[in-house]
Structure 1
Amino acid sequence: MAKSLAELKAIRDKKVNEINLRHGKNGYRVVVGMATCGIAAGARPVMVKLMEEVAANGLNDVTVAQTGCIGSCRLEPIVEVYDGEGNKVTYVHMTPEKVTKVVEQHLTSGKVVDEYTMTIVDGKIISPEVKA
């Protein structure tokens, strides 16, 4: 049975609220792209390092999860960070070393690490290497 747009929005809102309750309104949900493209590009060590750093820093308000393909295979490994309001920051070409800086600056202090993010200009994705 098909759902109406209003029903789908209600389901989404309910899930967002559940996530917020799980890690607090000010917490973060961090998602790592773990499809074949992400794994081949090195997403597994990125995910492991992310979980280690979150635990080591005692970030109880941070939820780490994995997902399938995020859709920009050439930018893998990709890590998306959602704040309590559902705003998203997408980090690309991630490495375990970059994870440390993201945890220290973004997840601990709320400061986005701009040099690791992608930008969309006129509908085209611009990699961090191109922005520099």
Structure 2
Amino acid sequence: MSNKVKSLQDLRKMRDELKGKINLREKSDNPDNLVQIKVSMATCGIASGARETMNYIIDDLDNQAIDAVVTQTGCMGYCYAEPTIEVTLPGEEPVIIGNVDTKKASEIIEKYIKNGELVDGIIPDTYKTIDNK
């Protein structure tokens, strides 16, 4: 998308591109039936490239016509592993994945979102000992 609008056609093209991105990010009729992705966009995440990661995820999901809700969230507390994302497949528990650059985002979409295969980089959300059964 260019920064300068030179014609009505350019303006319409920009509008259509933005509508598609907004639709992809904000679908909310039945979010439990859709893949949900939250991208940590606190200062630490943004400094580590979370904005680029989020834009890549939105574009790739849109290009592959994968229905998903992509939103941004604040700090998840995993600053050492930024950019971090939380992915929730329909009917599954959320999975938090760290160090998600565009290459890792592509792997997550291809392996986890499309095929349900776990990928490296998952951050455990709970730590249980043998005593906690």
Q: TM-score, with normalisation over the residues of structure 1?
A: 0.68
What is the Cα deviation at residue 121 of structure 1? 4.4
Query: Which residue number corresponds to residue 128 of structure 1?
Result: none
Question: What is the CA–CA distance in structure 2 between the aligned matches of 1:23 and 1:76, rounded to whole Å?
Answer: 25
Aligned to 2:91: 85
Is the counterpart of residue 112 in structure 1 residue 114 in structure 2?
no
Shift of 1:72: 1.4
Percent identity of equivalent pairs: 27
Secondary structure of the structure 1 residue equivalent to 2:104: helix
How many Å apart are 1:118 and its aligned residue? Answer: 1.8
* Post-superposition CA distance 1:16-63 (Å, at most 9, x none): xx95x52453x2100000010100111011101110111111102x11
RMSD: 2.1
Report the equivalent of 2:39. Answer: 32
Between the two proteins, the alignment pairs up a number of residues equal to 102
Segments of structure 2 that go 5 or more residues without pairing to the other structure are: 1-26
Matches within 5 A, 1:1-132: 21-23=29-31, 25=33, 27-60=34-67, 62-85=68-91, 87-113=93-119, 115-119=120-124, 121=127
Which amino acid in 1 is paired with 2:66? L
Change in CA separation of 1:70 and 1:24 when aligned onto 2, cut-off 3 Å:
closer
Three-state SS of the structure 1 residue aligned to 2:87 is: strand
CA distance in 2, matches of 1:65, 1:112: 21
Deviation at 1:86, TM superposition (A): 5.6
**Counterpart residue type for residue 122 of structure 2:** T
| 1:82-104 Cα shifts (integer Å, max 9, x gaps) | 12236111110111011111011
Structure having the higher Rg: 2
The 2-side partners of 1:86 and 1:72 are apart by 22
Q: Report SS of the residue matched to 1:97.
A: helix
